[in-house]
Structure 1
Amino acid sequence: MTTTQLGSARAGSVRRGVAASLLLAALTLAGCTGEASTSGDLGPTTPPLAEVETVADPLAWEGPSTAVAADSAISPVTDGAQTLPATIVDAQGTSVTITDTTRILALDIYGSLSRIVFELGLGDSVVARDVSTAFPEASDLPLVTENGHDLNAEAILDAAPTVIITDSSLGPWDTILQMRDAGIPVVVVDSHRSIDSVGALITQVAGSLGVPERGAALAERTTAAIDAKVAEIAAVVPADPADRLRMMFLYVRGQSGVYYLFGEESGADTLIAALGGVDVAGEIGWQGLRPVTDEALIDANPDLILMMTKGLESVDGVDGLPEHLPAIAQTDAGRNRRIVDMSDTTILSFGPATAQVLDALAVAVYAPESAG
């Protein structure tokens, strides 16, 4: 089926098919209406793990820390010719043919897709951006999102894209369908993000743009950097599994009364594993993302809690967190105020800059005095 054959019946099916993915997006967007934060907005960049002294016992320190990943410069892969037209079957099973990549829109909740396009050497063809695309090379592009992460149909049409690459993390979904109805090829890539899927995401984007060789090279480079960083982090993780930090990823939006625990298959579990932590949500059988309960917090009893920066701010910081979730005070993380936060648009981005994200988080976890 081609994109131009999508009718109203197909539209209803698509909406149902992406409902689960949009739930994650809706949670992330709740209460988030401003411009994406850059490293400068959050304070000094966290120093590299290789340049700091890690603590001998990560359970011995108290107090919060903030991880700020460095804004690494784009290093485009340019070896490999572009071949168009490119016909692919996207993540929703739709056959899409791309004949023109002179005006590209790459849109998702974390800005990862646009970063991939730039790293594939096609950044000069990107005509606009989402609010999370804040790396320096793209920061001057016009926005096609409003009220935080809502897609603006008029702005997208004004940008006159010849191809749109997106996932189901942004809405309203009717806007994407409207772009298809307007004859714009729309490629929907897999919305499930994790450290393990970074390479696959890159190759999906590259295949859509007719540069599969570049995609293979970028995926190899990125996964090699991730593997090297995970090995570097492993060297500072306590050798005895009993001494490793028990971690959980907590999502909160205090002004909206939203409190979720990210469990297995949420992507956060792979982040915790890469940091050498024990995923306590997995230990208690927590699947995906679900509203957190006092019982779950107490049963999990994490040593450390990972959070998004805006989420932590929404509950008035570390000191205000127990007022919203009293059970936090009954955990080792709460008693020791051991909370690590990172920018909302960075911590679960799982794109070409994943190694830098891991590096900054590892410093915040294992060398907290060196972090923010």
Structure 2
Amino acid sequence: MKFALAALRARAGFRAAVLPAALPVALVLALAVSGCAPQARDAAGSAAGPAGATARGPVAACSDGTAGKLPLKSEWGATTSARPAASPATGPATAKTSGITLPMVTPAPTPQLPVTVTSCDGTAVSVTDVSRIVTIDLYGTLTEIVHGLGLGANVVGHDRAADFPEAAKGKVVTPSGHDLNAEAITALDPTLILTDTTIGPLEVQQQLRNIGIPVIFFDPARTLPGISHQINAVAAALGVPAAGTELNAAVGADMSAALAMVPHESKALRIAFLYVRGTAGVYLMSGPGSGADDMIEAIGATDVGTDIGLTMPFTQLTSEALIKSEPDVLLLMTGGLKSVGGVDGLLKIQGIAQTPAGASRRIVDVADGSLLGFGPRTGQVIKALSAAVYGATP
């Protein structure tokens, strides 16, 4: 591919370079190439834009990692003065995410098109039609944002990580693990594809672009301060910037409420996030830049991987490092915990039982599609995670 994939992969960190390589990957491409791009239509399905309409923009889908991002505490009103005292919690717990709702702009906004978007790979992409959108990234973030912006009815296809109820009507285009299926995507006749470098093979997105489908790469980073930037970037690319502002207000309210209810600890809990897939032999500990570090710090705890000096977002788990790190709590995705046989199975992994968390069975799990998505539901996820860790009522 012509653009700098190495740089993009570096920004994606573990998601682009580690996880896909650690899991079974099998993709057979049979790409039906058409000589014509899909006809441009507006959100209602008619011809896009009035005669003589000119592209607006350019809109930036990416940034240098700081532009457009909200300073968390000042913008979201996080305070510690009114936070409750922590209550003791023992034994395993599951973060209750089933009741989480997606903040959504209503009524659905009317996209103002065309828009010219500078994709993260440096390509200028003209968006003239958002009536049939395919959203694909490793954690379902882009799908969640488009639904939150009120344009969920336009999403005809998405990745398997988009597990919230509103996404059920869209067709999953990553049926085999997280690998892209070009046939499944082209069969949906998409007018726009929103993606990033956390999913691939990246050559598939380029091939889709080559046959005339507009493809926009967004920032692959997933951080708390970056949520507002990502929402604004997607909203601007879809021609609904005001909806981005409205959605950010709702997300900010959720975030402020979640941060305000985090209990106050005289000594911060030490939490280690473990990414495990027993069936695939994957056992990793998170560190700086994993996304889990932001979520752990948001609930007033210390990210063990960062604290012991790990330099990568995810590092191969060793019993020596785990025992030395002395975590009070082990945090896992629900699917990962299940893959090793639940809490009892996890405790059989060398080193786990020798930690304070293992000795007290302080194992907390959270739904796979929730913890690292960093989409509009994140404030509510923090609230559920805090309740599970501290034994409070969400």
What's the TM-score, normalizing by structure 1? 0.82
User: What's the Cα RMSD here?
Assistant: 2.3
Unaligned 5+ residue runs, structure 1? 1-7, 32-53
Residue 259 of structure 2 aligns with an amino acid whose one-letter code is V
Cα distance in 1, alignment partners of residues 345 and 170 from structure 2? 37
- The structure carrying a bigger helix percent of its residues is 1
Matched residue, 2:80: none
Shift, 1:365, TM fit: 0.9
Q: 1:62 aligns with which of 70, 85, 90?
A: 90
Structure 1 residues 191-244: Cα deviation after superposition (integer angstroms, max 9, x where no partner): 1102221111111111111111211221232133212211121xx232x1x2x3
Matched residue, 1:348: 372
Matched residue, 1:101: 130
Distance 1:342 1:259, change over 3 A: same
Distance 1:27 1:268, change over 3 A: farther
Matched residue, 2:17: 23
Is the 2:105–2:246 contact (alpha carbons within 8 Å) kept by the matching residues of 1? Answer: no
Distance 1:266 1:82, change over 3 A: same
Structure 1 residues 72-128: Cα deviation after superposition (integer angstroms, max 9, x where no partner): 155225586532111121223222221111111111222221121111121221112
Q: 1:14 aligns with which of 5, 23, 41?
A: 5
Count of aligned positions = 331
Matched, 1:165 2:194: yes
Structure 1 residues 289-335: Cα deviation after superposition (integer angstroms, max 9, x where no partner): 111222221221100011011111111111111323x1112210011
Q: How does 1:177-326 map to 2 (within 5 A)?
A: 177-233=206-262, 236-238=263-265, 240=266, 242=267, 244-287=268-311, 288-324=313-349, 326=350
Identity %: 42
Give the secondary-structure state (helix, strand or coil) at the position aligned to 1:187. Answer: strand
Matched residue, 1:44: none
Give the secondary-structure state (helix, strand or coil) at the position aligned to 1:330. Answer: coil
Q: 2:382 aligns with which of 347, 358, 370?
A: 358
Cα distance in 1, alignment partners of residues 275 and 378 from structure 2? 20
Matched residue, 2:48: none
Matched residue, 1:35: none
Structure 1 residues 149-198: Cα deviation after superposition (integer angstroms, max 9, x where no partner): 22111110011111100112222222111111111111111111022211
Give the secondary-structure state (helix, strand or coil) at the position aligned to 1:323. Answer: coil
Give the secondary-structure state (helix, strand or coil) at the position aligned to 1:248. Answer: strand
Is the 1:64–1:339 contact (alpha carbons within 8 Å) kept by the matching residues of 2? Answer: yes
Is the 1:250–1:307 contact (alpha carbons within 8 Å) kept by the matching residues of 2? Answer: yes
Is the 1:55–1:367 contact (alpha carbons within 8 Å) kept by the matching residues of 2? Answer: no
Cα distance in 2, alignment partners of residues 245 and 322 from structure 1? 20
Residue 285 of structure 1 aligns with an amino acid whose one-letter code is G
Distance 1:354 1:28, change over 3 A: farther
What's the TM-score, normalizing by structure 2? 0.78
Is the 2:104–2:247 contact (alpha carbons within 8 Å) kept by the matching residues of 1? Answer: no
Cα distance in 1, alignment partners of residues 307 and 250 from structure 2? 33
Distance 1:334 1:361, change over 3 A: same
Cα distance in 2, alignment partners of residues 87 and 353 from structure 1? 28
Give the secondary-structure state (helix, strand or coil) at the position aligned to 1:190. Answer: coil
